[in-house]
Amino acid sequence: MTPQRIARLAPLLVLAALAACSAPPSEQAADKAAQADSAAGLAIESVAARQVDNVPLGSVPGTISLPPEARVAVTAPFAGAVVRVYVIEGQQVARGEALGLVRATEPVAIRGDLARARSAAALAEARAKRLAQLADEGVIAEARADEAKAELEQARASVAQFARMASLGGVGSDGTITLRSPIAGRVAAVAVETGGGVDTVTAPFVVEAAGAYQVELQLPERLAQAVRPGMAVEIALGGDTAKPVGGKIVAVAPSLDPTTRSVMARASIGAGPGIIAGRNVTVTILGQGRGIAVPDRAVTRIGDKDHVFVRSGKGWEKRAVRVAARSGGLAVISEGLAAGEIVAGSSVAELKAMNAE
């Protein structure tokens, strides 16, 4: 190369050197890490560990159910025949909505008794007034007026009794009774059909309250001492991207089951997509401390412990960690990792194999 050509290239070489020196340290480190990973033949995703509040204490199995007060039986006040059925099982109903129509003979008889009781009460009232006036004038003894007054009270009591019986279940003048839902919810059972009979003992309809659910939990012995009523819980439904359904612990059994070495607990939850009575779910119990969150895929099992691969210079070193819980695609680590440290978020299996060699 001639001296003239070297003189022309010298400024360009100086600018290139200055540009390389002026790159931010973080970018330089990232470039070096990428070069190291490329040299190893791996394309590893680097993920920064972050701090999270309300560290999960653990994840336990649970079963969704309805609380006892959420199910209401609708019964007929009188025995009779079903004229119409307005609903089917699984149908949503509002409070006061008609479920079925029943016709009974007893309400018709009661209405006749009510009419006779009202007539008798009117006669008793007129007689009591007349005798009271005669007693005041001294024509008859006070005892006769008192007897008439007592008969009037008895007649009024009969009227009140028959009136209450006639008003049960919205009984119509023709003996028809409209059975209505006392709560808003879902019709869980329809035990009658049109033309069939009903009595006062068997419930023709059962309605389950809308939005009232609970989860029966089985706490292992290690969690029994830490879980308390009022703690928050989360149930992940429909995959990692779905928003978890929240709730809280409402009761914890005071004793340990000697067979399963577990403690039964109960949590209340709200309604949501996928919340169905009888479904088995995994429930994450949230504490009140802090922890470190990384993608669940960054954690691997080596031996009898969980490990992550942490960036160390140009390479990755394995580090044992303690996983408190897994939920929503994240693993919450309680020991072994600090916020801000870089972990491998991909090619973990390859790193594990390279480390075993």
User: Where does residue 41 fall: left (phi above 0), alpha (psi -120 to 50 degrees), or beta otherwise?
Assistant: left
Amino acid 321: pLDDT: 92
Q: Do the domain assignments include residue 26?
A: no
Whether 80 and 171 have beta carbons less than 8 Å apart is answered as no
156/164: higher pLDDT: 156
The answer to whether residue 147 scores a pLDDT higher than 80 is yes
Across residues 320-329, what is the average pLDDT? 77
Q: Do the domain assignments include residue 323?
A: yes
d(CA 166, CA 59): 56
Same domain, 292 and 334: yes
Q: What is the CATH number of the domain that holds 310?
A: 2.40.30.170
At residue 290 the predicted structure's pLDDT band, cuts being 50, 70 and 90, is confident
Same domain, 91 and 134: no
Mean pLDDT score of the chain: 81
Amino acid 251: pLDDT: 92
Q: Do the domain assignments include residue 112?
A: yes
Based on the number of CB atoms within 10 Å of its own CB, is 185 exposed (0-12), middle (13-18) or buried (19 or more)? Answer: buried
Q: Domain limits at 248?
A: 47-67+211-356
Q: Do the domain assignments include residue 20?
A: no
- At 53-63, the pLDDT tens digits run 777 777 888 99
**Cβ–Cβ contacts within 10 Å for residue 206, how many?**
17
Total number of domains constituting the chain = 3
At residue 169 the predicted structure's pLDDT band, cuts being 50, 70 and 90, is low
At residue 35 the predicted structure's pLDDT band, cuts being 50, 70 and 90, is very low
The answer to whether residue 21 scores a pLDDT higher than 50 is no
Same domain, 96 and 202: yes
49/291: higher pLDDT: 49
> Who's near 159: CB < 8 A, 6+ residues apart?
114, 117, 118, 121
Same domain, 339 and 322: yes
Across residues 131-138, what is the average pLDDT? 89
Same domain, 75 and 200: yes
Same domain, 225 and 199: no
Same domain, 194 and 269: no
Amino acid 356: pLDDT: 66
Same domain, 245 and 314: yes
Q: Do the domain assignments include residue 301?
A: yes
Amino acid 6: pLDDT: 41
Amino acid 242: pLDDT: 64
Q: Do the domain assignments include residue 28?
A: no
- At 78-114, the pLDDT tens digits run 899 999 999 999 899 999 999 999 998 887 788 888 8
**Strands 56-65 vs 280-286: parallel, antiparallel or unpaired:** antiparallel
pTM of the model: 0.50
Same domain, 215 and 328: yes
Same domain, 304 and 236: yes
Same domain, 334 and 315: yes
Whether 102 and 82 have beta carbons less than 8 Å apart is answered as yes
Q: Do the domain assignments include residue 31?
A: no
Q: What is the CATH number of the domain that holds 115?
A: 1.10.287
Whether 49 and 262 have beta carbons less than 8 Å apart is answered as no
Same domain, 131 and 215: no
Q: Do the domain assignments include residue 145?
A: yes
Amino acid 96: pLDDT: 92
Rounded percentage of the chain residues whose pLDDT exceeds 90: 33
